[in-house]
Amino acid sequence: MIPTWAQLVYLGCAVGFILALKGLSGPRTARVGNLVGAGAAVVAVATPFFYLDLDHLPLILAAIAVGSLVGVLGAQRVQMTQMPQLVALFNGVGGGAAALVALLELEHMGSFTTDFDVVATAFTIVVGSVSFAGSVVTFAKLQELMTSRPVVPPGLPVAFVAGLLATVVLTVLVVREPAVSTGVVLAAVGLVLGVLLVLPVGGADVPIVISLLNAFTGLTVAAGGYVLGNVVLLVAGTLVGASGTFLTLLMARAMGRSVANILFGALRGGSTLGAGEASDRPVRSAGPEDVAILLGYAERVIIVPGYGLAVAQAQHTLRELVDVLLARGARVDYAIHPVAGRMPGHMNVLLAEAQVPYDQLVEMDDINGEFKQTDVVLVVGANDVVNPAAKTTPGAPIYGMPILDVDEARQVVFLKRSMRPGFAGIENELLFDPRTTLLFGDAKDSLAKVLSAVKSL
């Protein structure tokens, strides 16, 4: 039994998690919110050492030390472009840990255990395994350790349905007679289901699945908290599950897709297809000096940042360019698409790293009406979020996705490495529009040359 004082400490930690989530809702309070959440987590982890007679204490402390070391090194070395992959790994580790704890709990379940407790344990095992395996596959896709295209092996739908039926049967067996051996088989089925769930997802849909798996991990932690009678796990898991679910739905809405279409669209050819071949169609290109003239004499400029900006680590150079344009009297804003980069908030954090004032970041719905009065739109490393095919081409993978209405501006400048399409794997007709100018090269290098040319005007 957990003593009363420890339950009160756990309750305080749960309140800390809620306050942390509230703090993360705004840029001014995000840092404090993050510290509050981290502090609550440390207290929650440390509390059992004061009321439990722990076996294998050296192994526990060694595991904590290794985990802390990996966390510190990861925080220092992981680039902003790799944050989605890091989130995927965190999801997987959380789900896998919850599944392992549930497996161990099966050993201690006897005749006094209610069926609901056993069902919750089985749920934690299978969903935690799904989250772990699925997160590993999403990591491999984003890290380009495997193709980002949808992978649909022959018989995948049949195998997936068979896995679901096997999960139901094994859950019934676990409830009737809790046994670790049956739980291990259930976990193995969950691992297979996790792989089959994510393999058909490709391109820009992968981050949405990461968010969904995050929700799965939260639910497993909440279920584990119920079984263990631990309020901090119950509350923390519920928060993660709820926020992950909302984020998944919001991302799907931003893509103009349903969650079912994202998960299973490739089975009928409707999912995003991943990177395609470079186009050889003629386009209008220019040098840095020409782009500098367009920007230097424009009164209204909108910047559209994308994943290419993050890859090139060009946010600091871009901010310097914007500062120069502002000094010349131009009105400049950053147009932020909900899924710009690879996850919501990715561009906001990247630009905040370059000390870009937060009031210069304008969300899609608030800025779309201004493109018609914009002299120049500078698109840095974005593609699908400005592709008019989302509005004009039924049947396109991104059709129906809300986009930034860049095609309505007077002039558009694209900074691109090549003519390869975005994650959706389709051409962007805006690149071939007479109003569009392309500047090829690394975004950081190109922006530095444009910046130098603008200063010399």
DSSP 50-100: GT---SSHHHHHHHHHHHHHHHHHHHHH--GGGHHHHHHHHHHHHHHHHHH
Whether residue 275 is predicted with pLDDT greater than 50 in this model: the reply is no
Beta bridge partners of 413: 378, 437
In 3D space, the residue among 435, 371, 430, 433 whose CA is nearest the CA of residue 405 turns out to be 371
Query: What's the CA gap between 139 and 82, in Å, rounded?
Result: 10
In this prediction, residue 272 carries a pLDDT of 46
**pLDDT, tens only, 148-164:** 777 888 888 899 999 99
Identify the weakest region by mean pLDDT among 29-43, 138-152, 168-182, 443-457. 138-152
How far is residue 229 from each of residues 49, 232, 233, 333, measured CA to CA in Å? 17, 9, 9, 50
Identify which of 185, 183, 189 has the alpha carbon closest to the alpha carbon of residue 164. Answer: 189
Of the candidates 455, 345, 384, the residue with the CA atom closest to the CA atom of residue 447:
455
pLDDT above 70 as % of the chain: 93
Model-level pTM? Answer: 0.79
pLDDT in tens, 172-193: 999 888 889 999 999 999 999 9
Give CA–CA dist 288/339, Å, rounded. 28
Give mean pLDDT, residues 232-259. 86
Do residues 455 and 288 lie in contact, with contact meaning Cβ atoms separated by under 8 Å? no
Name residue 415's beta-bridge partners: 380, 439
**φ/ψ (deg, to 5) at 285:** -115, 165
Q: What is the pLDDT of residue 271?
A: 46
List all residues 6 or more positions away from 168 whose beta carbon is below 8 Å from its beta carbon.
none
Distance CA 234, CA 311 (A): 38
Residue 340 or 64, more confident: 64
Cα-based angle 302, 303, 305 (whole degrees, multiple of 5) = 150
410 pLDDT exceeds 70?
Answer: yes
CA dist 92 and 88 (Å) reads: 6
Mean pLDDT, all residues of the chain = 88
% of the chain exceeding 90 in pLDDT: 53
pLDDT attached to residue 152: 85
- Which residues, including other chains, have CB under 8 Å from residue 130's CB and lie 6 or more apart? 95, 190, 191, 193, 194, 197, 213, 216
CA atoms within 13 Å, Cβ hemisphere of 214: 26
Catalytic status, residue 384? yes
Mean predicted confidence (pLDDT) in 240-263: 83
Identity of the amino acid at 169: V
Give me the mean pLDDT over the 18-42 stretch: 90
CA–chain centroid gap for 287, Å, is 35
- Judge whether residue 270 has pLDDT over 70: no
Alpha-carbon distances, residue 83 vs 30, 262, 307, 389 (angstroms): 17, 21, 12, 28
Measured between alpha carbons, how far is 212 from 246 in angstroms, rounded to an integer? Answer: 9
Is the pLDDT at 364 greater than 80, yes or no?
Answer: yes
Query: Nearest CA to 409 among 393, 438, 386?
Result: 386
Both tokens assigned to 85: 């992959």
Catalytic residue among 205, 384, 405, 407: 384
The pLDDT-based confidence of 166 (bands split at 50, 70, 90) is very high
- Residues 198-236 have pLDDT tens digits of 998 876 678 888 889 999 999 999 999 988 888 899 999
pLDDT band at 90 (very low <50, low <70, confident <90, very high): confident
